[in-house]
Each structure stands twice: as structure tokens, then as C-alpha cells.
């Protein structure tokens, strides 16, 4: 895969100096080696170099949008599945607001907004992927704007809730996105951000094999400290972090074990999925490894929230 690459400066403090965090990261999905660095001044961690925005789409697959979504199923099935997946985020929102206007940045296929639409909220969303937008309209009758959020036209003080659900880490200019979100939120409005936690136990354990790195799709790798700085700089207050998203914590840990040990995810010399002719054959060693990995993932995921080291973090702040 041939792409044009760019070398960004720190998006928060604009500093050009950095130190390498993890080098020679390979992916079972794509050929090539990748690197993440940390800003020498503010500590923001980001992918460097990275594909230009015109070519980042080469690293996305349609199935990433469709996973666990019944394409031709009933809306009730989607509501049931997503009510489980998003219960932690829903609890935060509904503890602050019963109804209002909600905006989802990077809305995917719209299934997050579907429940709020059913509950009488005024729902809006932005999304860049054409197939995802068509899916949202066809199956959920939700019209998403196909536009970069920074180009999205909105009056100030319009929204009660703005959500970035596993999207901030994909954006080229996250600081500017947070600043714009602050401007278009109502006074007392809430921003809710759900994303991987670079300060998690799993990242320290697995390093380059930590599933949530997802380079080069994940352009930024946030820890609570730098995310707090970005939110406060934009004007948000009452910033609270939660690390109790158990299903996400467990999933990231277990997938990281798979990336590290499973033959299916072994990388070739230049990355890319290895020839796994023996992957489907029964192996006692494989089954024992899977059982042990599940047990360890469960145990770590159970302990992490107590120590604020969850694989996933949800942060929210008020205007």
C-alpha cells in the first residue's frame, strides 16, 4: 500500500520536539511499520509519521462499521445490542439530561443515536463514510451530515450533549474539535468522550501488541492527564473520568493476548496477516492458552477501574 505521509507537530501545544514512545509497530491487517511519539513539552502521544487525510481511508474496512449490527434485522435487535454496549455512556447522559438536542461526532451507522431518537431527543450526527451514512438513513431513518466536524455549520449554544464515541483518537485535529464543541454547547451542556486509555495496565503489559493502538487509524493516544489539559484549555469544567467500562476493558485485554500469541495474528517481515494454514486445527495448547487469556483478561479488567487504569476511559465535562 503506497501512501503519502506527513510529519505533524503536537496538536495541543504546537511543539515540534518529541521522543519516540514505541517504534516498529506492525499490524496484522496492513503492511508497513509504524511509530508513536510523545510531545517533549505537553506529553501528547501521537502517530508520527501518519498518512495524509486524503489517504487515511485506505486503512479502514467497511466491516469495522458493521460489526454486531444486524443489517437486515429489526430495530429492536439493534436497540437491545447497543443498550448493553453503551450502558455506561447512557447512564452519564441520562443522569444529566432527560431530553434535548444531542450531536454525535463520528456517528458511524447511527445506532448510538437511534435510542435517543426513540426517546424523543433531537438527534444529529456527522460522519465521513458514505456507506455508513446510507445505512443510518435506510435502516434507522437518521440523516447524518457527511462532513468533517470542523467544517460543520452550527450556531453557538445549540446542543445539550455532544458525544465523541471512539472517534476523537481518529481525528486529525482533536484540540480544535474540543474547542468547537465547547462553543456550540449550551451553558451547562455536556461533552462525553469515550476512547482507549494510553495509561492503562494493558498498554504497559503489551506495549506494541496492545490492541488499542490501532495504528495508523488511531492518530492520537490519550491519557487522562493530557485530555484534562485539552478540555480545560477549551473551557470545560467539572471534568470526571470513569474506567468501569468492563466490556471494553475485557475486550481490549483479550484481543491484546490474541495479538501477542495467536498464529492468526502473527506478522510477516513487513506486516500483514501470516499464512495461517494450521490456525483452524485443534490444539490443546491453543485451547489452554485461550482459557488462560480469558481468565487473566477478566481478572485484570475487574481490578483496573479501582486503580484508574482501565483499558477504556469515559470522560465528561460541563460548559
pLDDT at 268 over 50: no
Mean pLDDT, rounded, of the chain:
90
**C-alpha span between 297 and 306 (Å, rounded):** 15
3-state secondary structure of 245: coil
pLDDT at 65 over 80: no
**Lowest-confidence pick of 4-13, 238-247, 257-266:** 257-266
Any domain includes 133? yes
pLDDT in the model for residue 62: 62
Any domain includes 2? no
Any domain includes 281? no
Quick: pLDDT tens for 176-197: 999 999 999 999 999 999 999 9
What's the grid cell of residue 273?
496477516
Quick: pLDDT tens for 49-62: 999 999 998 888 76
Q: Which residue would you say has higher pLDDT here, 79 or 19?
A: 19
pLDDT in the model for residue 233: 98
**Over pLDDT 90: what percentage of the chain?**
73
Provide φ and ψ at 271, rounded to 5°.
Answer: 85, 180
pLDDT at 175 over 70: yes
Any domain includes 105? yes
**Lowest-confidence pick of 29-38, 134-143, 273-282:** 273-282
Number of structural domains the chain divides into: 1
Any domain includes 4? no
Q: What are the C-alpha distances in Å from 116 to residues 93, 204, 264?
A: 10, 37, 39
**C-alpha span between 319 and 182 (Å, rounded):** 7
pLDDT at 269 over 60: no
Beta strands 220-221 and 101-105 are unpaired
CA atoms in the 13 A half-sphere facing the CB of 196: 24
Any domain includes 47? no
pLDDT at 241 over 50: yes
CATH of the domain at 142: 3.40.50.150
Any domain includes 304? no
Gyration radius of the chain over CA positions: 20
Residue range(s) defining the domain that contains residue 223: 62-247+313-318
Any domain includes 230? yes
Amino acid at each position: 500500500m503506497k501512501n503519502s505521509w506527513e510529519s505533524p507537530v503536537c496538536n495541543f501545544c504546537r511543539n515540534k520536539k518529541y521522543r519516540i514512545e514505541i517504534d516498529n509497530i506492525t499490524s496484522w491487517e496492513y503492511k508497513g511499520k509504524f511509530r508513536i511519539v510523545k510531545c517533549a513539552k505537553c506529553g501528547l502521544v501521537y502517530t508520527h509519521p501518519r498518512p495524509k487525510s486524503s489517504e487515511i481511508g485506505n486503512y479502514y474496512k467497511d466491516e469495522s462499521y458493521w460489526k454486531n449490527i444486524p443489517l437486515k434485522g429489526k430495530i429492536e435487535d439493534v436497540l437491545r445490542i447497543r443498550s448493553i454496549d453503551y450502558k455506561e455512556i447512557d447512564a452519564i447522559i441520562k443522569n444529566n439530561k432527560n431530553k434535548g438536542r444531542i450531536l454525535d461526532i463520528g456517528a458511524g451507522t447511527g445506532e448510538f443515536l437511534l435510542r435517543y431518537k426513540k426517546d424523543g431527543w433531537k438527534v444529529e450526527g456527522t460522519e465521513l463514510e458514505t456507506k455508513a451514512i446510507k445505512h443510518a438513513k435506510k435502516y434507522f431513518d437518521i440523516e447524518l451530515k457527511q462532513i468533517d466536524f470542523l467544517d460543520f455549520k452550527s450556531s453557538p449554544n445549540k446542543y445539550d450533549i455532544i458525544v465523541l464515541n471512539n472517534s476523537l483518537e481518529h481525528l486529525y485535529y482533536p484540540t480544535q474539535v474540543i474547542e468547537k464543541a465547547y462553543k456550540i454547547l449550551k451553558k451547562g451542556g455536556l461533552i462525553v468522550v469515550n476512547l482507549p486509555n494510553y495509561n492503562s495496565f494493558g498498554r504497559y503489559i503489551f506495549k506494541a501488541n496492545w490492541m488499542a493502538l490501532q495504528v495508523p487509524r488511531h492518530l492520537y493516544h490519550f491519557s487522562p492527564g493530557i485530555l484534562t489539559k485539552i478540555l480545560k484549555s477549551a473551557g470545560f469544567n467539572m471534568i470526571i473520568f470513569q474506567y468501569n467500562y468492563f466490556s471494553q476493558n475485557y475486550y481490549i485485554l483479550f484481543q491484546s493476548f490474541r495479538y501477542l500469541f495467536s498464529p492468526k495474528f502473527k506478522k510477516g517481515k513487513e506486516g500483514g496477516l501470516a499464512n495461517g494454514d494450521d490456525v483452524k486445527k485443534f490444539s490443546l495448547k491453543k485451547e489452554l492458552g485461550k482459557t488462560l487469556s480469558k481468565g487473566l483478561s477478566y481478572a485484570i479488567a475487574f481490578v483496573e477501574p479501582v486503580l484508574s487504569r482501565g483499558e477504556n476511559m469515559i470522560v465528561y465535562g460541563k460548559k
